[in-house]
Amino acid sequence: MKQKETSLNTTEIKNLRHEEKGDDHAGFSMETPLREDAFALDDELKIELIEKHFKEIMLILGLDLNDDSLKGTPNRVAKMYVLEMFKGLDPKNMPVAKLFENKYNYKNMLIEKNISFHSVCEHHFVPIIGKAHVAYIPNGKVVGLSKLNRIVRYFAQRPQVQERMTIQISNMLKEVLHTNDVAVIIEADHLCVAMRGVQDLTSSTITAEYTGRFLDTHTREELQRMIVMEK
Q: Which residues are known catalytic residues? A: 121-124, 162, 190, 192
In the DSSP assignment, the letter for residue 82 is I
C-alpha 39/C-alpha 124 separation (Å) is: 23
CB 138 within 8 A of CB 110: yes
Contacts of 220 (CB under 8 A, 6+ apart): 183, 210, 214
CB 95 within 8 A of CB 147: yes
Q: What is the dihedral of CA 189, 194, 196, 199, to 10 degrees?
A: 140
Question: What is the largest distance, in Å, between two alpha-carbon atoms of the chain?
Answer: 71
